[in-house]
Amino acid sequence: MFYVHIFFHYVAQYMKTRLQYRADLFVEVISDLLFQAVNLIFILVVFGHTNFLSGWNREEIIFIYGFFLVPYAVFTSFFNIWDFNERYIVKGELDRILTRPVHSLFQVILERMELESLFGTITGIAVMAYAGSLLGLELHWYDPLIFLIFVLGGVLVYAGIFIMLACVSFWADARTSIMPMMYNIGNYGRYPVDIYNKIIRFVLTWILPFAFVGVYPSAYFLGKEEWYIYAFLTPFIGIIFFVAAVLLWNEGVKRYRGAGN
């Protein structure tokens, strides 16, 4: 309950800060929606030249993209740790974090949250509804619960991978460009993995499991029975990667010696 109270306190303070500059907040939301629209247009352009992509039709690809947007939006709202190295290690901000009686990772997550990114979940659900209506998909009473579980699993997959990358800073505090490269690799999870060769498919499934953010959980709702086992592995993969990331973070904090010389 203590951490829940701290969470809502941070959220309240964040909203007060952001609403002081409403125009800036509005521009950020619109720019984020435009970015998502460009990606959707790219898919439509691709399918303007072909009807199928490795057995997947246009509406199915659009549905996968819509699903991908939901966990990705939640991830980008709460796990903006792409600048952890420079801000918290190089500039010494972690020293301030470690003086407080709250877990350091929890504080970093809350300090870097961007709640306006949650609008991406609305876009994702709208895209899924559009594609689902064209495909004639039918929902069962338990599907919303499964959807939430799959989304949470996708969020944990993303969070686990990027927390692990941030932990590299505890052992090598030099500025690196790993984060931007990994963000680009993460985009591969919005497309069916069987369009890639076997090596990339293996990497996206077991090494950097971004496929569990988009295509695998989407396959359940699309009725792709051959992918069901992967779909239901989504929450377990998410938990494994996130727990491993937290354990690695704790070990990294033990090695941290401060920013002073």
Domain boundaries, the chain: 2-255
pLDDT, averaged per 10 consecutive residues of the chain (261 residues), comes to 85 77 70 70 64 77 91 91 84 88 92 85 88 90 96 96 91 70 81 86 93 94 92 97 97 82 52
Determine the pLDDT at residue 48.
62
pLDDT the model gives residue 143: 95
Task: Supply the pLDDT for residue 151.
Answer: 97
User: What's the confidence (pLDDT) of residue 62?
Assistant: 87
Name 14's Cβ contacts closer than 8 Å, sequence gap at least 6.
Answer: 113, 115
Please answer whether residues 213 and 158 qualify as being in contact, where contact means their C-beta atoms are separated by less than 8 angstroms. Answer: yes
Q: For residues 103 and 253, what is the distance between their CA atoms, to the nearest angstrom?
A: 10
Virtual CA dihedral for 132, 134, 135, 141, nearest 10 degrees? 40
pLDDT for the residue 15: 77
Signed CA dihedral, 53, 57, 63, 66: sign only:
positive
Are 87 and 112 in contact by the 8 Å Cβ rule? The answer is: no
- What pLDDT is attached to residue 259? 67
Q: Cβ neighbours of residue 9 under 8 Å, at least 6 residues apart? A: none
Question: In Å, how far are 151, 197, 198, 199 from 202, measured between CA atoms?
Answer: 21, 9, 6, 5
What is the predicted pLDDT for the residue at 181?
79
Question: Under DSSP, is residue 57 helix (H, G, I), strand (E, B) or coil?
Answer: strand
* Ramachandran category for residue 136: left, alpha or beta (phi over 0 → left; psi -120 to 50 → alpha): left
As a whole number of angstroms, the distance between CA 246 and CA 261 comes to 27
Q: What is the pLDDT of residue 53?
A: 67
Q: What pLDDT is recorded for position 241? A: 97
**Residues written for the chain:** 261
Phi, psi at residue 56, to the nearest 5°? -105, 130
